[in-house]
Structure 1
Amino acid sequence: MKVLAIDDQKLVLIPLEIRLKELGYEVTTTTSALKGIELFDLIQPDLVIVDINMPETSGIEVVKHIRQTKNVATPIMILSGNTDDAIISKAFDLGVNDYMKKPLSLQEVCARTKRLIGAPKLDNNNTKTYKDVVIQQRCVGVVIPCYDEEKRLLSDEFTTFIEKNSGYHLCFVNDGSKDNTLQVLNDLRKGREDFITVYDCEKNGGKAEAVRLGMLHMAKHEDLDYIGFLDADLSTDLADFDDLVKTIETTDYKIVSGSRISRMGADITKESARKVISLTINYIIRKILKMDFKDTQCGAKIFHKDVIEVSFKDKFVTQWIFDVEIFKRITLHFGLAKAKEMLCEQPLKRWIHADGSKLSMKDSIKIVGQLGQIAWTYRSKKTISKKETQSNLSVIKNQPVISKIAS
């Protein structure tokens, strides 16, 4: 039995394809609706599974091709995050057999596939690959900077997470490590190339540059909706990071930042001396940003893809507190009022200070000086921006009026 699956997000198609093949179906996939129409004519599948929202051509056009152009009764299952009642009604009016809303269980998709076209003779229900996975509406890239993480990298936690959570692509950035970190990362990627990328920097450039390069690299992936970064030691765990993703996909926020605020029901631990310095630094940061941020320096943040360039295009002034620079860039680009609407600080359920942290107490003290550097640098940029604006207005004001002549 042949199944044709069409979805512009490859991370959605991979677990679907593998699981259906395990069950005995012959599966063909494509990320293009136009290519899907060609494949339908070529392979004549027994079932078509198609998304609605795709960039070049809507999945509705695939349905029209099958029902109106070809005038055939091939079963069609819609698998989409589009919950517009008008679209759903239109799909059924055109003759789709099933409409499933993301997120949903992969197991349910397989069960409905069997209901529509039956189970293959080679149906193997004992297979477990991706069996309990939830197919998400969104796809997320996660940048993980690594410097000498050979002994600390929790490889099993990362692999277990991507096996149970579809729609995630991890990008490990090797920041010129002197130990065997690169080999550990390459071993971690083997067999998981669709879900894990290793970006290798030959020279150590610091965490800020490693994150920046990783974010810009992941921004090139067209099927990713959101991109974030996370510390390699998982002081913020992956479950908490997934909660940040859920917040950004269900709100209008452009950036959701984790916050290590001590409160009832949360497991937040810090060294006492580090906590005092942290409180001092955060006070200065709030003065610089003119925002009531409780914790800008948490190593877990998620960004809407359309603010990646503003946040990461230019190199950062400092190595450790680039988070402050990100928020300052957003403020300068969009204005303070708009920036406050775009940024969300979300308390974490758990954060543990991991042994072997690369940030020493001496570095923490240096940060105070780096904050002064940020304040001066971005104050200068704001001044330059104002002068450029005034200069442009002056030029426009003094330009002669030119009549527009239609050719």
Structure 2
Amino acid sequence: MKILVVEDNKKLAENIKKYLELEGFIVDLAYDGNEGLDLALSYNYDCIILDIILPGMSGIEICRFLRDEEKSQVPILMLTALGSVENRVEGLNVGADDYMPKPFDLRELVARVRALIRRNQVVRQETLKYGDLVMNLQTREVSCKGEPLNLSSKEFSLLELFMRNPGVVFSREQILDKLWESGFEPRSNIVDVYVLYLRKKLKPFGYDEKIETVHNIGYRLKKEDDKT
């Protein structure tokens, strides 16, 4: 499971990262609000730990943007040294799922993160749709124009990544990071190979061209209303 920690206190951020990694999580760090939002929009995280007071965008602004503009349902746990009821209410009102005032026990932080992830998995959307493409996340069945698609596990995961993020450009390194375990060299062409496999299976339905190569960067699934 992958966690984003947005915290401008570098020592605290690194302590959270180290503890979460000991608990088996993959952790990305951002030390200001702008970097945190960029990461939140670029990757699929299982949970975001978000400080309220940050350089650049505040945690409140980031949370509001993710909920209102992106319609993101990623669990968000807010941290702050501000302990007033007003601060807690403001964070929850803009869409945060939980709140921890500083200082806190890292064991409790991990327990709350796990609880948020479990809760989100229970209510998580079971079906993804993109035009005539339909993906059932529970049965792992995919169909296009009513016809079943026989996808391998990696092809399914790759298509899921694209369908969850239409219009988002993913570099080969980002796709490797999301879908493969560590050990693959960034120069490996494994991502290109699986994109080719997926396109071949989508071609009979005219959907192969929906997966667009972005020169010198990587790949994206075109937005449904993108005719180019």
Unaligned runs of 5+ in 1: 119-407
Q: Which amino acid is the alignment partner of residue 104 of structure 1? A: F
CA distance in 2, matches of 1:65, 1:28: 20
Q: Distance in 1 between matches of 2:65 and 2:106?
A: 26
Corresponding letter in the other structure for 2:84: D
Q: Give the drift of 1:81.
A: 0.6
Alignment identity in percent? Answer: 30
* Separation in 1, partners of 2:57, 2:70: 18
SS in structure 2 at match of 1:44: coil
> What number of residue pairs does the alignment pair up?
118
1:15: which partner in 2?
Answer: 15
Structure 2 length as normaliser, TM-score? 0.50
Query: How much is the aligned-residue C-alpha RMSD, in angstroms?
Result: 1.1
Aligned equivalent of 1:95: 95
**Where in structure 2 are the equivalents of 1:7-406 lying within 5 Å?**
7-118=7-118
Distance 2:40 2:98 in 1: 18
What is the rounded CA distance, in whole Å, between the counterparts of 1:2 and 1:55 in structure 2?
Answer: 23
Q: Gaps (5+ residues) in structure 2?
A: 119-228
Please give the alpha-carbon distance, in whole angstroms, between the structure 2 residues aligned to 1:32 and 1:54: 6
Counterpart code for 2:90: K
The SS at the match of 1:99 is strand
Letter in 1 for 2:40: F
Residue 214 of structure 1 corresponds to which residue in structure 2? none
Aligned to 1:4: 4
Report Cα offsets for 1:259-290 as digits up to 9, x if no partner: xxxxxxxxxxxxxxxxxxxxxxxxxxxxxxxx
- Give the counterpart letter for 1:36 in structure 2: G
What SS does the corresponding residue of 1:41 show, helix, strand or coil?
helix
Aligned with 2:3: secondary structure? strand
What amino acid maps onto 1:62 in structure 2?
I
> For 1:11 and 1:104, how far apart are their aligned partners in 2?
14
Q: CA deviation at 1:56?
A: 2.4
Counterpart of 2:57, as a letter, is T
In 2, Cα distance between the equivalents of 1:65 and 1:12?
25
Moved over 6 A (4+): none
The one-character-per-residue Cα deviations of 1:67-104 (angstroms, maximum 9, x if unpaired) are 11101211000011111322211111112110000011
Paired with 1:88 and 1:113, the residues of 2 have a C-alpha distance of 17
Find the aligned partners of 1:82 and 1:68 in 2 and give their Cα distance. Answer: 24
Partner Cα distance (2:55, 2:37) in 1: 15
C-alpha separation in 1, matches of 2:70 and 2:86: 24
Alignment TM-score, normalising by the size of structure 1: 0.28
Distance 2:108 2:84 in 1: 21
Write out per-residue CA displacement over residues 163-206 of structure 1, whole angstroms, 9 at most, x where no aligned residue.
xxxxxxxxxxxxxxxxxxxxxxxxxxxxxxxxxxxxxxxxxxxx
Q: Distance in 1 between matches of 2:12 and 2:77?
A: 15
Partner Cα distance (1:73, 1:81) in 2: 25
CA distance, structure 1, for counterparts of residue 61 and residue 68 of structure 2: 10
Structure 2 CA distance, aligned partners of 1:109 and 1:8? 17
CA distance in 1, matches of 2:47, 2:95: 13
Aligned residue for 1:352? none
Deviations 1:356-389 (A, max 9, x none): xxxxxxxxxxxxxxxxxxxxxxxxxxxxxxxxxx
1:107 is matched by which residue type in structure 2? R
Q: Compute the displacement of 1:40 (Å).
A: 0.5
The residue identity in structure 1 corresponding to 2:8 is: D
1:173 aligned residue: none
Distance (Å, rounded) in 2 between the aligned partners of 1:38 and 1:56: 12
Point out the structure with max Rg over C-alpha. Answer: 1
Aligned counterparts of 1:108 and 1:6: Cα–Cα separation in 2 = 18
In structure 1, the residue matched to 2:124 is none
Task: Classify the secondary structure of the residue corresponding to 1:104.
Answer: coil
Q: What is residue 175 of structure 2 aligned with on the other side?
A: none
State the alpha-carbon separation in 2 of the partners of residues 15 and 62 from structure 1.
Answer: 22
Q: Distance in 1 between matches of 2:42 and 2:55?
A: 23
Q: Distance in 2 between matches of 1:86 and 1:50?
A: 17
The residue identity in structure 2 corresponding to 1:79 is L
